[in-house]
């Protein structure tokens, strides 16, 4: 097998059609079909299933396409690193962020990228912490930022900041600190059990021998906050997620104490892929941006 065959196979899988891939690659369809047949003969497995509208990959074909994309990306990165004699950074960096972090970090990070590395294309994708870690393992993204949780193989972690959690209540509630046991005893509106924040709250409740009363489970932050504003219950969140609403008097944020409830924000990089020339400078820029946001009070309720 060679790079030409891998590139052709990835195109077939992405387009779902040998005919469409042949047109894009400007290769005769019979020649492209022979490439696929050669791959199947060499590997001893079927890679594609034909149907009336085109083709779909088998499980083995999907695995080959995923690994081929990684190889092609690595080769492209290698070529960029070798030929970049003027030392200017070029290429694409894909960053995965949780939605709440993206609201705070994405805009200043894009601005810094444009200022410092105008020839670098920053691609940002949002997903829960588990999704971001899975994308790293699969090679879909280059760098990930998540809240600390279950450590996964093939991924290295770098702590970024510690974020304190608050009891978020409807307007009219006192703004005084609240003990953890009292916060956990409220009628709560929380994300679903697979969410990292929910796992943290559930663990705190077990350690305090408190049975949570969760009236609603909502994974969409604006919807969750709308229910709290209406008085349907309270929630537990970092201050940055509700800062504007608190300043407008639409919500009340009460610091949780005795003990404090907090969580770590972590930067992740894959161990099973070689770092590119972009990775190191971009991670430094990301860390500097986080420090500036915390120091300037633009990431309230957190500390480095």
Instruction: Give the whole-angstrom CA distance, residue 77 versus residue 289.
Output: 25
Question: Left (φ > 0), alpha (ψ -120 to 50) or beta: where does 26 sit?
Answer: left
Residue 232 in contact with residue 217, Cβ under 8 Å? no
Assign 78 a pLDDT band (cuts: 50, 70, 90). low
Instruction: Give the whole-angstrom CA distance, residue 240 versus residue 149.
Output: 20
Instruction: Give the whole-angstrom CA distance, residue 181 versus residue 205.
Output: 8
Residue 164 in contact with residue 261, Cβ under 8 Å? yes
Q: What is the pLDDT of residues 140-160, one digit of tens each?
A: 788 888 887 666 665 677 888
In eight-state DSSP terms, residue 135 is H
| Residue 234 predicted with pLDDT over 60 | yes
Assign 86 a pLDDT band (cuts: 50, 70, 90). very low
Residue 143 in contact with residue 93, Cβ under 8 Å? yes
Domains of the chain: 3-74 (1.10.10.10), 91-161+264-303 (3.40.190.10), 162-263 (3.40.190.290)
Burial readout 32-44 (b: 16 or more C-beta within 10 A, e: otherwise): bbebbeebbeeee
At residue 169, the pLDDT reads: 94
Residue 98 in contact with residue 129, Cβ under 8 Å? yes
Count of beta carbons in the 10 Å neighbourhood of residue 11: 19
Q: Output 211 or 77, whichever has higher pLDDT.
A: 211
pTM for the whole thing? 0.63
> Counting Cβ atoms within 10 Å, is residue 270 exposed (0-12), middle (13-18) or buried (19+)?
buried
- The DSSP H or E segment spanning 41 is helix 29-43
Which residues lie closer than 8 Å to 234 by C-beta, 6 or more apart? Answer: 167, 168, 169, 170, 183, 186, 187, 188, 189, 228
Q: What is the pLDDT of residues 1-51, one digit of tens each?
A: 788 888 888 888 888 888 888 888 888 888 888 888 888 888 888 989 888
């Amino acid at each position: 097998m060679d790079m030409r065959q891998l590139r052709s196979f990835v195109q077939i899988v992405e387009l779902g059609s040998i005919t469409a891939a042949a047109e894009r690659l400007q290769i005769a369809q019979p020649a492209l079909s022979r490439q696929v047949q050669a791959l199947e003969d060499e590997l001893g497995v079927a890679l594609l299933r034909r149907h009336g509208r085109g083709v779909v990959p088998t499980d083995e074909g999907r695995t080959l396409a995923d690994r081929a994309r990684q190889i092609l990306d690595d080769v492209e990165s290698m070529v960029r690193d070798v030929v970049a004699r003027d030392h200017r950074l070029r290429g694409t960096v894909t960053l995965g962020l949780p939605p709440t972090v993206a609201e705070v970090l994405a805009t200043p990070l894009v601005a810094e990228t444009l200022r410092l590395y105008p020839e670098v294309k920053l691609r940002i994708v949002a997903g829960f912490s588990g999704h971001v870690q899975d994308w790293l393992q699969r090679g879909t993204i280059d760098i990930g930022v998540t809240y600390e949780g279950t450590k996964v193989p093939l991924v290295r972690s770098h702590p970024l900041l510690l974020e304190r959690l608050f009891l978020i209540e409807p307007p009219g509630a006192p703004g005084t600190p609240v003990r953890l046991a009292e916060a956990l005893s409220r009628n709560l509106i929380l994300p679903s059990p697979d969410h990292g924040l929910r796992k943290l709250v559930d663990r705190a409740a077990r350690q305090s021998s408190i049975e949570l009363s969760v009236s609603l489970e909502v994974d969409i932050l604006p919807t969750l906050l709308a229910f709290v504003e209406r008085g349907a219950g309270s929630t537990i969140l970092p201050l940055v997620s509700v800062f504007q609403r608190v300043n407008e008097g639409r919500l009340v944020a009460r610091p949780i104490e005795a003990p404090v409830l907090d969580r770590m924000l972590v930067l992740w990089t894959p161990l099973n892929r070689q770092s590119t020339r972009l990775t190191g400078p971009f991670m430094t820029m990301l860390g500097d941006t986080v420090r500036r946001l915390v120091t300037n009070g633009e990431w309230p309720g957190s500390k480095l």
